[in-house]
Amino acid sequence: GILEKRRQLIRDELGKPDEGALFEIANRYALGHRRADQRGDYDPLFLDWIFWWFLATVELTNRLIAARK
Range of the domain at 43: 2-68
- Specify the number of domains making up the chain: 1
Burial 12-33 (b: 16+ CB within 10 A, else e): eebeeeebeebbeebeebebee
The confidence score (pLDDT) of residue 46 equals 84
pLDDT tens-place string over residues 19-29: 777 777 777 76
Average pLDDT along the chain? 82
Q: Provide the pLDDT for residue 24.
A: 77
CA R_g for the chain: 13
pLDDT of residue 49 exceeding 90, the answer is no
Q: Is the pLDDT of residue 60 over 90?
A: yes
DSSP 41: -
